[in-house]
Chains A and B, each alone.
Chain A
Amino acid sequence: MNSIQVWTYVMVGLTFGVYLTIAWLSRVKDAKGFYVAGGGVPAMANGLATAADWMSAASFISMAGLISFMGYNGSVYLMGWTGGYVLLALLLAPYLRKFGKFTVPDFVGDRYYSNAARVVALVCAIFVSLTYVAGQMRGVGVVFSRFLEVDVNTGVFIGMGIVFFYAALGGMKGITWTQVAQYCVLILAFLIPAVAISMKITGSPIPQIGFGGTIASGPDAGQHLLEKLNEIGVALGFGGYTSPFAGLSMLNVFCITMALMVGTAGLPHVIIRFYTVPSVRAARLSAGYALLFIAILYTTAPAVASFARYNMVQTLAEVDYKASLSTPLPDWFHNWTATGLVAWVDKNDDGKVQYLGPAMGGGPAFEGKPELMDSGTDRYGLPRISNTPTTNANELYVDRDIMVLANPEIAQLPAWVIALVAAGGLAAALSTASGLLLVIASAISHDLYYRIINRQASEKQRLLVGRVMIGVAVCIAGYFGINPPGFVAQVVALAFGLGAASFFPVIVLGIFWKRTTREGAIAGMVAGIGFTMLYIIQCTPAFLGMEPWFLGIRSTGIGTVGMLLNFAVTVAVSLLTPPPPEEIQEMVENVRIPRGAGAATDH
């Protein structure tokens, strides 16, 4: 076992110990504690918890790498996954807090005086959350396998055990306080390597400034980093790094950004966090804190993306490795080929890495993902792979995750920092998973069991059902973590599309337009989800793979159209049906005024 592994066991053990301790200290005995943490979480703590809840394994591990390859087009994720908080803070959070119930289906069911609407909402909540949580459990397994060389499945089992323990014991209260700790771990783990690599490449300790600064040393010293990246991108056939709309039309960038923003505001595990604060004012404030804490990572990630891109191209592309003794391949490249995240096949046998994009005759280096052979290395000391090489000129395979995972090694940071990155990835995955599991459990135990099936259930029964449902949800999530459906990545787009096309319009109209009726809301949700789901199934390459037939909009951006459709249908049907009852209109009036937002009630 090398020192990195020892440190990783120490870091992971230590952070897990903290999570379990917090869970034990915040165990709950009542339904209110279980579903909304007793409604007394301070605004800043809720902001921290929301940030951890929101930032998943994908934000932590994959996003910077994704932007690194997409350049400007990666902005859809940056704006899309932050801009939604403005919508949340201005349009949803204060009013849902005043309404003061436990779940999103609670609001939909009560505002639209209908159990049918409640059921539609709870099915959406479960579907959206399940698709999302599958990816998180997989993330836990992958982090374990990469850093500790244990089996992916073992990693998934460990993750399931930990999440079950603190979610079942402490419910929302346990989840909230562990998320606060998890945010601290993940942000440190992201920032320390980011600062180090910014120092190394631009000489500036602040990545957001180094991003726009000049290169500190080497042949390009003194040149602006982004200008150099543009030159490199054009020379290698990938296009300019900051040039917009390469391979993604303006309309698509627009629609994807909007779908992600509105989807964010419509995701139930984010919305329910605002039920946990003591007042309407605190709900507004904690949305601000949440975005502030998220922005720390989201403004650093594009900087890391550019540093990693520059570093990768500088150390790999067109460097002569034939005389491999005098200029060996970089250590990090050697180390990470063993994981199959990077690979090089010297197709033209010239001893140089050709890394070329489409405009220079490049393409995938070989078919599929690297399949490592069990024995032997090639003449460059790299593991052999069994994939069939393609005929194009590109020789390099790079998985986007490498951009964050290999950063500490590229920046030559000590072993404990590498271990911290592992703990950070786990924190990001576990915190998001726990928030989602609570939504699934509460949809069944509160919305279905208590609100529809058994209104007489005692507090004890309801807590028991809640805990059992957490267990069931953990098992389902674990199953998908171990047997990942091939379409997990595509399905995440589905989650956002559905969030955008279902909850957002119905909740916003429910608050801002008293005339919205039950019939309107149900018709709107069904139309929005129906259209979005149909389009995603038709036009996602992994499913039916049809050409995007609506204005060329890709399935990832179609949630925007689904949302507009939902708005239109809801308004039209509402105008054709009798107005909602007097007491509902009074309820809406009441929701609009902050005073009187007592603790959440379960009536």
Chain B
Amino acid sequence: MSQEKMKQYWRTNLRYMVVLLAIWAFVSYVCGILLVEQLNAIQLGGFPLGFWFAQQGSIYVFVVLIFAYYVLMRRLDRKFDVHE
């Protein structure tokens, strides 16, 4: 693979990572910790919302993030012809 394409592949990978890690930090550190008191004023069924993020929601999002990365990278690998 040419230097230029390699750079492009790596940059796209880094962009995916930054976006996914931003979501990762948002659901856990922002919704589950920093804003938990404000969010707890909102009810989600029987859950105060901040508490739900901390004990349930963030974990569901983590699972989705990893599968999303898998799908994105599978497509990227194919596009740049570096898949196995």
A residues lining the B interface (CB < 8 Å) = 67, 72, 74-75, 78-79, 82-83, 85-86, 89-91, 94, 208, 211-214, 224-227, 242-244, 250, 253-254, 257-258, 279-281, 284-285, 287-288, 291-292, 295, 298-299, 302, 589, 592-597
Residue of B1, B6, B45, B54 with most partner-chain A CB within 10 A:
B54
Main SS class of interface, A: helix
Given A89-B66, A595-B84: A242 and B48 within 8 A (CB)? Answer: yes
Contact B6 A225 (CB under 8 A): no
Q: Contacts A224-B46, A257-B29: A291 and B84 contacting too (C-beta < 8 A)?
A: no
Residues of A with C-beta under 8 A to B47: 211-212, 226
33-84 of chain B: CB within 8 A of chain A: 33-34, 36-37, 40, 44-48, 50-52, 54-56, 58-60, 62-63, 65-67, 69-70, 73-74, 77, 82-84
Q: Please give, as numbers and ranges, the residues of chain A lying within 8 Å of B54 by CB-CB distance.
A: 72, 75, 78-79, 244
- Neighbouring B residues of A72 by C-beta, 8 Å: 36, 51, 54-55
Provide the bound-state CA to CA distance between A263 and B42, in Å.
32
**How far does the Cβ of B44 sit from chain A's closest Cβ, in whole Å?**
7
Nearest CB in chain A: distance from B14 CB, A: 8
* Assembly CA distance A253 to B51 (angstroms): 13
> A428 to nearest B CB, angstroms?
19
Known A593-B82, A595-B83; judge A85-B62 contact (CB<8 A): yes
19 further interface pairs, Cβ-Cβ under 8 Å (given A226-B47, A279-B84, A592-B10): A75-B32, A79-B28, A79-B59, A83-B62, A86-B62, A86-B66, A90-B69, A213-B46, A226-B46, A226-B48, A227-B46, A244-B37, A250-B33, A254-B29, A288-B67, A291-B66, A299-B59, A594-B77, A594-B84
Min Cβ gap A274→B in Å is 13
Some 11 contacts from A to B, beta carbons below 8 A apart, are A67-B55, A74-B55, A78-B54, A83-B28, A86-B62, A208-B56, A214-B46, A226-B47, A257-B33, A281-B70, A595-B83
Q: A67 to B84, alpha carbons, bound, how many Å?
A: 44
CB pair A244–B36 under 8 Å, yes or no, is: yes
Q: Find out whether the CB atom of A288 lies under 8 angstroms from the CB atom of B45.
A: no
Contact in complex: A280, B33 (CB < 8 Å): no
- Are A226 and B51 within 8 A (Cβ)? yes
> Using Cβ atoms and an 8 Å threshold, which residues of chain A touch B17?
90-91
Known A-B contacts A79-B54, A83-B24, A211-B56; the reply to A288 vs B63 at CB < 8 A is yes
- Total A-B residue contacts, Cβ distance less than 8 Å: 136
Interface bin, chain B: 35 or more
Chain A residue nearest to B14 (CB atoms) is A512
Cβ-closest chain B residue relative to A288: B66
A75 touches B55 (CB 8 A): yes
Shortest Cβ gap from B55 to chain A (Å): 4
Query: What A residues does B45 contact at CB under 8 A?
Result: 212-213, 224
Q: Whole-angstrom distance between the alpha carbons of A227 and B29 in the complex?
A: 24
Give bound CA distance, A91 to B47, whole Å: 33
Residues of A within 8 A of B55 (CB): 67, 72, 74-75, 78, 299, 302
A244 to B63 alpha-carbon distance, docked (Å): 24
Inside 8 A of A592's CB, which chain B residues have their CB? 6, 10, 13
B37 close to A82 (CB less than 8 A): no
Cβ contacts under 8 Å, B66 to chain A: 85-86, 89-90, 284, 287-288, 291
How many angstroms from the CA of A258 to the CA of B59 in the assembled complex?
A: 14
Given A295-B60, A592-B10, A281 and B83 contact (CB-CB distance below 8 Å) = yes
Cα distance A85–B69 in the bound complex, in angstroms? 12
Residues of A within 8 A of B52 (CB): 212
Query: How far does the Cβ of B82 sit from chain A's closest Cβ, in whole Å?
Result: 5
Which listed residue (B36, B62, B83) contacts A291, Cβ 8 A?
B62
Complex interface: chain A residues within 8 A of B46 (CB):
211-214, 224-227
Contact of A79 (CB < 8 Å), options: B10, B58, B77: B58
The chain A residue sitting closest to B21, CB to CB, is A90
CA distance A298 to B62 in the complex (A): 12
B36 and A82: CB pair below 8 A?
Answer: no
| B62 A82 Cβ-Cβ under 8 A | yes
Across the interface, which residues of B come within 8 angstroms of A243, CB to CB?
A: 40
Q: Least Cβ distance of B36 to chain A in Å?
A: 5
Sorted nearest first, the 7 A-B pairs with minimum C-beta distance are A224-B46, A75-B54, A212-B46, A288-B66, A242-B51, A302-B55, A212-B45
Nearest chain A CB to B8 CB, angstrom units = 12
Measured CB to CB, the closest approach of chain A to B68, in angstroms, equals 9
Report yes or no: A292 in contact with B33, Cβ–Cβ below 8 A: no
Q: Which residues of B contact A302 (CB under 8 A)?
A: 55-56
Residue of B nearest to A223 (CB): B46
B59 pairs with A295, CB closer than 8 A: yes
Chain A nearest CB from B13 CB (Å) reads 8
What residues of B have a CB within 8 angstroms of the CB of A214 in the complex? Answer: 46
Q: Is B33 within 8 A of A298, CB to CB? A: no
- Contact at B69–A593, with CB atoms within 8 Å? no
Q: Is B6's CB under 8 angstroms from A589's CB?
A: yes
Instruction: Output the nearest chain B residue to A224 by Cβ-Cβ distance.
Output: B46
**B36 CB contacts on chain A under 8 angstroms:** 72, 244
